[in-house]
Structure 1
Amino acid sequence: MSATVLVVDDHPVVRDGVTMLLRSDPSLAIVGSAESGHAAIERVAELCPDLVLLDLRLPDMLAPEVIAGLRRAHPRAKIVVFTAHGDHQGVVAALEAGANGGLLKDVAGTDLAAALRRVLHGERVVDPRIMPDDGARSNALARSGLTRREYEVLRLAAQGKTNPEIAQATGLTRNTVKTYLQSALHKLGARNRVEAIGKASEAGLL
């Protein structure tokens, strides 16, 4: 019995390419495609695929939002994000939002099929080129002077979370979240959270 796959990408060339790559693998069957986040959530509810191959950058929604919607529509589906860039921050945010894997689009057909099969068997598969070296991040954190808590709050802000959402995710009060953010802004020499996220990204923290 083939595992069913839904391909979500706003580029027809990519959708067709993935279909071609996976066609030769009898264990995987593409049951449909979608070109936007909203369409993906509708289609996953309708088709109930075993796995969703999700482009990291869609025109209408951020990947973590799409993943949350897919999880609500069909909780059992495995979700693998697919990106053309080793977009560390975006992939990390997607994995934290519940994705089961992250792959680069230049992966060869046999490798893609093998990676998807591993995810279907319950593994978390992430291309080693995507995830930054934790040692490098620790060094950047030490240089920035940010505490772990300030870094954690800033990282959640970088995912687009509001202060109340950050408070809920960390178990902190809203006032404490605000204090940590202000402290992080001060240490990074930033005037607002957008600037702080930009500076933290440049410093290799995000």
Structure 2
Amino acid sequence: MNSSERRGPLRLLVVDGHPIVHAGVSSTAATTPWLTVVGYAKTGQEAIAAAKAHRPDLVLLDLRLPGPLAAQVIHDLRACAPGTKVIIYCSRGRLDGAVIDGADGLVPKDADPAELLDALHGVARGERLPGSADGLAKQCSPGVRDLKKHGLTRREFEILRRVAMGETNAEIARVTGLASNTVKTYFQRTLEKLDARNRVEAVVHAAEIGLL
């Protein structure tokens, strides 16, 4: 998509669990004639519904959303709104490990308005920003793609990823809809598969082999 070939401003959907982010992006867009915020969602499920309703050109997607993994949300967005460009929005400290299959790029959450607008406009013009699957193909974490190689299921990987983000079993249970004991069982299996004795060893080992 080329912004110069379309009429009217680019339509942006903001997907983030914090309303203040939506307010800040909306404020920035209000001073930008080529961009307008058409929707806001707090979860991956809400994002899919909003994409169906608003057909955005761009989606700014928080990496740490409750529910499905970002890669699954992107897949579903592509299915319901073909042609939509997706930019992952995450803390600068997580940029190196945040490459997600299907994303068109990354932008740090502490980016200033000009940096954010440059990223959005670049993606709209068809640029592959740092962090996209193409732009960092040689550096990116294999993530879900290599789960079978290391014997992990998608659910085990989801729980491992949340453990790496510092979430407790209770917190993981709440966002995944699983019982705490079930989360514990899944993670015990992950420890065995990664030959790790505890959470720290599991996260370190997973990072070393490129899963995180």
Q: Does 2:36 correspond to 1:29?
A: yes
Query: Is the CA contact 2:88–2:106 (under 8 Å) kept in the aligned structure 1?
Result: yes
> 1:90-109 alignment to 2 at 5 Å?
91-92=98-99, 94=100, 96=101, 98-109=102-113
Secondary structure at the aligned position of 2:118 is classed as helix
1:48 to 40, 52, 55: 55
Taking structure 1 as the reference length, the TM-score comes to 0.65
| TM-score (norm. length: structure 2) | 0.64
Give 1:13's aligned residue.
20
Aligned residue runs from structure 1 range 145-184, under 5 A: 153-154=146-147, 161=154
Aligned AA (1:6): L
Deviation sequence 1:81-137 (CA, Å, 0-9, x none) = 101243247521x2x2x010111011110111111011001111127xxx7x94xx9
**How many pairs does the alignment contain?**
159
How much identity, in percent, do the aligned residues show? 34
Structure 1 residues 157, 57: closer, same or farther in 2, change over 3 A?
Answer: farther
> Is there any run of 5+ residues in structure 2 with no aligned partner, and where?
1-7, 156-190
Deviation at residue 203 of structure 1 after TM alignment: 3.2
Q: Structure 1 segments of 4 or more deviating over 4 A?
A: 154-160, 193-197
1:114 aligned residue: 118
CA distance in 1, matches of 2:91, 2:148: 23
Structure 1: 5+ residue runs without aligned partners? 138-147, 163-189
Q: How many Å separate the matches in 2 of 1:86 and 1:155?
A: 28
Q: Residues 57-77 of structure 1: CA distance to partner in whole angstroms, max 9, x if unpaired?
A: 111222111111111111210
Using the TM superposition, give the Cα deviation of residue 153 of structure 1 relative to its aligned residue in structure 2, in angstroms.
3.0
Q: CA deviation at 1:157?
A: 5.8
Q: CA 1:99–1:20 in structure 2 vs 1: closer, same or farther (change >3 Å)?
A: same
